[in-house]
Structure 1
Amino acid sequence: MMRQHTRVIGWAAALLAMAGFSALGGWQLQRMQAKQALLDAQGPALARVMPLQQALAAAGPLHGVADHGRFLPGVVLLDNQIRHGRAGVKIYRPFRSDSGALVLADLGWRALPADRQLPHPPAPPSPVAVRGLLAPAPAPGLALGPAFVPGTGTGQWLASRLPAPGLAAVLGVPGLPDRVLRLDPALPFGDERDLELLPNTLPPERHLGYAVQWFGLALTVLVVALVLEWRRRRAAR
């Protein structure tokens, strides 16, 4: 009776482990597919530009934008952004198009010095014509601590992630979308930037590799459970 009880517990534990490993493998596959779809959509999006208001209303995560408007007061510095192996911040400012559409615009990356003194970048020209890529905001990672805190200057905020409702409130604008405008690197203002969609995150192929590892662990548990079961039955004969 005790052996039967132990066998049931063992199989239950094995099934739970296999289910958990398989779920993690499936999640990694979903992440791979989502990121690959984003990369595949970039080319067509850049080939067809539209005004900001139209892009915000259109379906899909990526849209090329060409519009005219002005930058509003306030600056958001997104912390922990790695480029060229150095830590820095991404600089965002609210932008309002002439039609009234609002978005956080990515003005580029700037390295932080060793003492982490926050930069005070000059305001870009305004009003101004802009172009770029409307894209999802950078992935937040683990949401630990406050999303943003006051910086070292008036209207400056240091952020660990970009929650649209909270930032809209502190920047004094009526609302912000959960996407950002990645400005064309060729525009003659702002800091160093590009249209890389997956900075500081894993590429699709890495997610595929992790998925294979999780599914491999699930298969290993199954094989071990079957071998133990075969040995138990062999010993019982």
Structure 2
Amino acid sequence: MDKLRLEQALAAGPAARAMTALPASALPDLARYRLAGARAGGPAILLANSLLDGMPGQRVLQPLQLGDGSLLLADLGWRAVTQPLPALQLPPQLSGQWLPWHPRWTLPDARQGGEGVVDAVDLAALRRRYPGRWHAGVFILQPPVAGLQPWPLLPPLSAQRHFAYALQWLLLGFCLLWRWRRWARSVA
């Protein structure tokens, strides 16, 4: 039910609010914002192994410096591995949704870092490289930067998968009960 509530909150977020800064002490609230005065705070991070509709690609992330000097990690969009990286020109006003950061499961030898092509973003290294006041989470641009495709705003596992898993266990329980009753009748 928690996943279902999260999916509903993502789908029905409040209308975008024109703000030049995110709330200073708040955690990501799934709300939509319009940020004016944001500029690139560092080079792009290409998050590898990001499948979209079965196609291999990369999520393009970038540290942003907001109008008040604070920093935020932004998801600019997705690109297929076969496509060249477009010029990452940020519009004067960024529209998007502020979400919690979802860490990725990676193998021990995975490339972690805060620049270039990585398998997982090393948030601690990113904060050491760009000192300042960082906002928690990630800002998903909607629409993405020109030349990139939108990344779907869904939790890693959908509520439907949880419901299907529960149904699977319920059916397995019924099968075991049926087998037990057959065994009990044959013994008696």
The TM-score with structure 2 as length reference comes to 0.76
What amino acid maps onto 2:2 in structure 1? A
RMSD between aligned alpha carbons? 3.2
- Aligned residue for 1:93, secondary structure, equals strand
More helix as a share of residues? 1
Q: How does 1:150-189 map to 2 (within 5 A)?
A: 156-169=115-128, 171-174=129-132, 176-185=134-143, 189=145
State yes or no: 1:131 paired with 2:87. Answer: no
- Aligned residue for 2:149, secondary structure, equals coil
State yes or no: 1:87 paired with 2:56. Answer: yes
Aligned residues: 186
Any conservation in 2 of the 1:165–1:175 contact (CA below 8 Å)?
Answer: no
State yes or no: 1:191 paired with 2:124. Answer: no
Q: How does 1:210-225 map to 2 (within 5 A)?
A: 210-225=165-180
Gaps of 5+ in 1: 1-32
Any conservation in 2 of the 1:109–1:191 contact (CA below 8 Å)?
Answer: no
Which residue is equivalent to 1:30? none
Q: CA deviation at 1:78?
A: 1.0
The TM-score with structure 1 as length reference comes to 0.63
Change (3 A) 1:219 1:168: farther
Any conservation in 1 of the 2:100–2:138 contact (CA below 8 Å)?
Answer: yes
Any conservation in 1 of the 2:77–2:149 contact (CA below 8 Å)?
Answer: yes
Q: CA deviation at 1:107?
A: 1.1
Change (3 A) 1:176 1:163: farther
Q: CA deviation at 1:59?
A: 5.8
Q: CA deviation at 1:217?
A: 1.6
Find the aligned partners of 1:177 and 1:218 in 2 and give their Cα distance: 46
Find the aligned partners of 2:186 and 2:134 in 1 and give their Cα distance: 63
- Aligned residue for 2:126, secondary structure, equals helix
Residues 46-102 of structure 1: CA distance to partner in whole angstroms, max 9, x if unpaired? 414263421x64466401112222211122111122235421101000012111332
Any conservation in 1 of the 2:86–2:148 contact (CA below 8 Å)?
Answer: no
Change (3 A) 1:98 1:222: same
